[in-house]
Structure 1
């Protein structure tokens, strides 16, 4: 029997769920149901990304403790299972699920053992909304091109991952369609980015700037692991990667016929470049397929929590159906 593992991206819980996220959930749910109807053993995963500076700042703005804020908002995301009639087989929260931190630490330790991590001072322009650094030529009048907000100049010492080491290997994998990226324009976008040359990337943040909210870097209390390094690991932490009970991991990831991520175009680079590189460093199988969808927009702006153009998907579903 064919075995398929299917995921959606896990969202930050800094605000209410919005219609664009529900769109992704429904697209992926259709894929999961079709896979099951086709006779494939299928595992469909959702979750929330609790460890984010965005979540911390939103909690501070609301005047409540981060834990209280994150728990309350995560429940609203998980509650979409009902009105959207989602067929999730599992749902993971990165800050409370006991499977998650051991998996993140294992992936980190493997990269360290492989010589792929080093520490150095760094300065750059950071967008809290994207949780990433931008090069000067990527900015639009010193603003994040995604959120249209001014970036923050950050100077600190971080751990770096040797992404540049995997450039040629990633090009070969994507060019050969060993990792399929669809629709084709997004595949071309990733190849163009890879062929322009990869720089190593920061994979930790200062514990002080993160307000102590995150997975601590092993043996370095001054740092927490970069939210995206941890968030991407949810796909395998949910399958007990990093624990002795890893039968789920063998079945649904290591030996699966398809390992498919359904994502929005704004996080393509994280899934098609960074995540495969982390897995290559660990000697683990890569995703087989990344299905990318465009944004839902209003007045040429994407519907999102960050831009304040959110539409309540539960209300839409109760009014018009899924």
Structure 2
């Protein structure tokens, strides 16, 4: 048997509602990829899960008149229950709000970035869409409303931690242009290159704990803030491998950056952790891509989960 490990992941959906057909489609597509590689003799790890720490989950729980934890638990269980009727060959399921592997890994990632000087804190004002969980510039709106949800974003003014993404622009461009990091198909590679070449801005990676009603993972050293959901949830692809305690599973899974990313509808596959779409539980919702290298629409341009500025 070959030792060329293959890590197949799905996006982890918000649990602000019940699963729908789109979630089932993604799971089955990822399952096909996992089974195909196993049949070819490759060691495969197939991961899926749920994102419980999003602000939209909190808002949905409020609307339902239910405390957040039981609301999230119930919906997460409905997603996990898809395993049997879809006959999925899933190796692991991670729930970001309850899995004991996740929060330690998120904290470790934050602390390591902080030690490198990757964060700075500042105040800003912007137009925020709760459905997309991101800020829009005025020229990105359609007649003043969110192009995805058709609602007018809320003007929000707050002080958060920002990740210095701009400092990595040259390095990312070098990795992409040299082929060190491979993105397939070619059209998606072109999208990512165009996005990076256009200039990367620092991104907001925390939210006031008061605004989230205390829901989420507290920022290490700053309990007044919780880790922003896109930073928190994206870490699941390595926290599921034991990144938080540097366990054997993480070392076996590979701790080096991904060398390949393949776009395959809503399923994401790569030789090391990759990411997929941010999928909402509301029927008909097309939330923004979580990663600029995995999209469902040929015309979808990658976005950064940023705040203005």
TM-score with structure 2 length normalisation?
Answer: 0.84
Query: Which residue number in structure 2 is paired with residue 25 of structure 1?
Result: 27
Indicate the residue corresponding to 2:296 in structure 1.
Answer: 293
Partner of 1:312: none
Secondary structure class of the residue paired with 1:142? coil
Show the 5 A alignment for 1:1-322: 1-244=3-246, 246-254=247-255, 258-259=271-272, 261=274, 263-264=276-277, 270-272=290-292, 291-294=294-297
Q: Deviations over 1:16-53 (max 9, x none)?
A: 11111221111111111111011100000000000011
1:181/1:292 contact within 8 Å kept: no
Deviations 1:96-134 (A, max 9, x none): 111100000000001100000011101111111111112
Whether contact under 8 Å (1:263, 1:291) holds in the other structure is yes
Q: What stretches of structure 1 of length at least 5 have no aligned partner? A: 273-289, 296-322
Q: Between Structure 1 and Structure 2, how many residues are aligned?
A: 277
SS at match of 1:157: strand
1:3 Cα offset (Å)? 0.8
Q: Distance in 1 between matches of 2:183 and 2:150?
A: 27
* Cα distance in 1, alignment partners of residues 198 and 139 from structure 2: 13
Distance 2:64 2:71 in 1: 8
* Aligned counterparts of 2:224 and 2:114: Cα–Cα separation in 1: 17
| Structure with the larger helix share | 1
CA, structure 1 residues 83+262, in 2 after alignment: closer, same or farther (shift >3 Å)?
A: farther
CA contact 1:7–1:235 (8 Å) conserved in 2: yes
Q: Is the 8 A contact 2:6 2:42 kept in 1?
A: yes
1:228-274 deviations in Å (ceiling 9; x for gaps)? 10100000111110215x111111132798125362486776424xx
Partner residue of 1:309? Answer: none
For normalisation by structure 1, the TM-score amounts to 0.81
- Aligned to 1:261, the other structure's residue is in SS state coil
